[in-house]
Structure 1
Amino acid sequence: MVLSSNEKRAFFRQQCREALAAHIHDRVGLVVAPSQVRLQPSAGDGYAWSVTESKKSLLQSNLGSGSVGLYRSICEELGRSLEAVTPQTLQVAQSERGHLPEKETRPTGSDEKESGSFTAKIREMECANREISSELDRTRMHLEDSLRKKNELHAETLRLQDELGGVSSRVSHLEDELVRVTGGIDKAMRVLQVYQTQDGSAPEHGDRQDESVDSMDGTMLETPPVSIRVDAS
């Protein structure tokens, strides 16, 4: 049997409504008649639609005036990029994307059925991303502080190296001066030793000369006269 265009559209619309109603019951726990399912529900309906940025166009039409292509796309994306959540969950997700303080975005209760949804996972990833961002900020501040201290230590090291260079130069000069003074002292000691040796040996030499003279004088006095005879012939 070949369906007319209107019949075909009505057929796929009914399939889409039934799929949406079953999904709402599975994710949120509400029983909604397929004929009462809406793509733009109010807060009093007890459910809302969470959709990824790239698939927002799926919610911009009404189910009653949609096309076959719309119905097919909704059924294909249901549970993947489009899912039913509580209005509170959707508000929390939107608030977190707006980077509101955590105490203002924390939900009043938890929905066990949403724990495996992509909306919940997105929220977890966004929360983890904010924590990582905060940790990176703290790490960057720590690194900047460490870099500042490193630069200060480097400057202090250079200053101490300059001072050490000056001290080393003075030490080298003092060592040279010490060598020079030590050499002068050694030379003076050698000169002093020479004078002491000369002063100590001079009297002994004089005494020996006097003794020699006295001995010679005595010998001359004790030697008998020698007679000299002249032969007249």
Structure 2
Amino acid sequence: MVLTSNERRAFFRQQCREALAAHIYDRLGLVVAPSDVRLQPSVGDKYAWSVTESKKSLLQSNLSSGSVGLYRSICDELGRSLEAVTPQTLQVAQLKRDHLPREESGSARTDEEGNGSFTAKIRELECANNNMKNELDRTSIHLQESLGENRTLHTRIRQLQDELDSNLSRATQLEDELVRVSGGITKAMQVLQEYDAHEGGMLHGGRQREYCDSIDSMVLAPIRHEVS
């Protein structure tokens, strides 16, 4: 039996509704009749749909007016890029995605956190990514501080090297001056020694004359007195 276009569309729509209802029960333990399943549920429905960016178009139509292609795509992506979550979980995911402060994060944790939910996995990866970004920022700041300290250290090393070169140059000058002064002192000592030797000879000759004069006065004085 060949189905008409409307019959074929109704068949796949019902199949899609049943798949969505079964998925809601598997994920949230919530019983929803296939005829009551919506792609844009209200807050009172106690479930919501989380979908990846690339598959957002799946939720832009109503099930009642969808096409066969839409129904097939929903069934194919169910549990992969489309899944049922609680409204609180969806709100938390949206707040995280928009980088807004998350309120009452503890109450937003639901059963899909540990049942393989890709929404929870995305939130976990986003949290890990934020932690890595924060760590990267801290590492970058530390690196900049280290580079600043390194530049300061290199500047200080150059200053010390310049001071060392200056001190070495001054030490060389002082060494040359010391050699010159030592040479002058040596020459002065030689001159003094020669002078002392010369003065000593003159002093020795004077003493000999004084001795001779003393002998003359002691020996010849009586003779001169007698002669006179």
TM-score range normalised by the length of the shorter chain: 0.7 to 0.9
Equivalent residue for 1:167? 167
Q: Tell me the SS of whatever aligns to 1:2.
A: coil
Deviation string 1:140-181 (CA, Å, 9 cap, x unpaired) is 222222222222222222222222222222111111100111
Deviation at 1:197, TM superposition (A): 4.7
Aligned 1:28-107 pairs, distance under 5 A:
28-102=28-102, 104=103, 106-107=105-106
2:106 and 2:20 mapped to 1: Cα distance? 24
CA–CA separation in structure 2 for the residues paired with 1:186 and 1:89: 100
- Whole-angstrom CA distance in 2 between matches of 1:168 and 1:107: 71
Post-superposition Cα deviations, 1:38-78, rounded to whole Å, max 9, x if no partner, equal: 00000100000000001000000111111110000000000
Q: Which amino acid aligns with 2:111?
A: E
Q: Deviations over 1:76-102 (max 9, x none)?
A: 000110000000000000001111224
* Distance in 1, Cα, partners of 2:5 & 2:106: 45
1:1-233 alignment, distance < 5 Å: 1-102=1-102, 104=103, 106-115=105-114, 116-197=116-197
Unpaired runs of 5+ residues, structure 2, are: 209-228
Could you tell me how far apart the structure 1 residues matched to 2:104 and 2:147 are? 37
User: RMSD between aligned alpha carbons?
Assistant: 2.1
Distance 1:109 1:7 in 2: 42
Query: 1:195 deviation in Å?
Result: 4.2
Question: Structure 1 residues 105 and 140 mapped into 2: Cα distance closer, same or farther (>3 Å)?
Answer: farther
Give 5+ residue unaligned stretches, structure 1: 208-233
Work out the CA distance in 2 between the residues paired with 1:13 and 1:152.
72
Q: Percent identity?
A: 69
SS state at 1:32 partner: coil
Report what 1:224 is aligned to: none
User: How much has 1:138 moved relative to structure 2?
Assistant: 1.5
Q: Give the aligned partner of residue 222 of structure 2.
A: none
State the TM-score, normalizing by the size of structure 1: 0.80
Q: C-alpha separation between the residues in 2 aligned to 1:114 and 1:166?
A: 71
- 1:39–1:59 Cα contact (<8 Å) kept: yes
Aligned counterparts of 1:17 and 1:143: Cα–Cα separation in 2? 56
What number of residue pairs does the alignment pair up? 205
Partner SS state of residue 79, structure 2? coil
In structure 2, the residue matched to 1:227 is: none
Shift in Å at residue 11 of structure 1?
1.1
2:71 partner amino acid: Y
In the TM superposition, residue 105 of structure 1 has moved relative to its aligned partner by: 6.0
The answer as to whether partners of 1:26 and 1:113 remain within 8 angstroms in 2 is no
Distance in structure 1 (CA, Å) of the matches to 2:60 and 2:180: 101
Preserved contact between residue 95 and residue 105 of structure 1 (Cα < 8 Å): no
Conserved in 1, the CA contact under 8 Å of 2:9 and 2:68?
yes
